[in-house]
Amino acid sequence: MTVDLSQQPEINNEDDEVEMIVIPPRTDLREKALRDGSASNASKKAIKAAEEAIDELSGEFEDWMKEAIANLLEKIPAIEEHGLNSPSGEELHTIAHDLKGQATTLGYPVVSEICETLSNLIEKAPDKSRISPKIVEIHIKAIETIVHECTKNVDDPKANAISSSLRKMVMKILNEEYEKQAVQA
């Protein structure tokens, strides 16, 4: 079964296997910015400057990632007490969503995948109050582990196993929640 988390998940209790196709985003600025015959010196200089800026930022990204993870971990006690519908839950979702969009560009593609899974759980759950804070914490700990071990390779088997397991867990949770919602309707 192929799962598209941008859509409501298909309810299927018989098949716990999830086929994932990871398509890493293209980050080669030359390919994005230059068209055939447009490789002027000004364009080449602009691209080189942008690449240097990204390289400079990616050095700072380690510290930013650690700070973002600390902010995520900081939200867990409030979420345990007040749930994901609380201001802390909204802040956690914002941080995870931001990481989802930025992590791949700055060298952590698997962190981006995990943040996408966490964001989808929060966004697509019919009742956020029923999401266990433990599930959220597991996602954050996975992000922390990958960053701590500097796992930047999209082909890293451990990181991919973690990401895949979390995605399967979230799909199972969402499927169960949609089933409960359907029964109640």
Reduce the DSSP state of residue 141 to 3 states and report it: helix
Q: Using an 8 Å Cβ cutoff, are 100 and 115 in contact?
A: yes
Q: Domain containing 161: what range?
A: 60-184
- Give the pLDDT confidence score for residue 106 in this predicted structure: 74
- Give the pLDDT confidence score for residue 118 in this predicted structure: 97
Contacts of 107 by beta carbon, 8 Å cutoff, 6+ apart: 58, 61, 152
For residue 1, tell me if it sits in a domain. no
> What tokens were used for 114?
């995990």
Q: What is the CATH number of the domain that holds 142?
A: 1.20.120
For residue 7, tell me if it sits in a domain. no
For residue 12, tell me if it sits in a domain. no
Q: Using an 8 Å Cβ cutoff, are 112 and 103 in contact?
A: yes
For residue 54, tell me if it sits in a domain. no
Give pLDDT tens digits along the chain (185 positions): 333 444 443 434 444 444 444 444 445 555 555 555 555 667 778 878 877 877 777 667 778 888 999 999 999 999 999 999 999 999 999 999 999 988 887 788 999 999 999 999 999 999 998 899 999 999 999 999 998 887 777 788 899 999 999 999 999 999 999 898 888 87
- Give the pLDDT confidence score for residue 165 in this predicted structure: 95
Name the phi and psi angles at 20, rounded to 5.
Answer: -120, 135
Q: How far is 68 from 115, CA to CA, in rounded Å?
A: 12
Give CA 103 to chain center in angstroms.
8
Q: Using an 8 Å Cβ cutoff, are 127 and 177 in contact?
A: yes
- Give the pLDDT confidence score for residue 24 in this predicted structure: 47
Look at residues 66, 72, 84 and name the one whose alpha carbon lies nearest to residue 139: 72
In the chain, the number of structural domains is 1
- Give the pLDDT confidence score for residue 51 in this predicted structure: 76
- Give the pLDDT confidence score for residue 183 in this predicted structure: 87
Q: How far is 60 from 133, CA to CA, in rounded Å?
A: 30
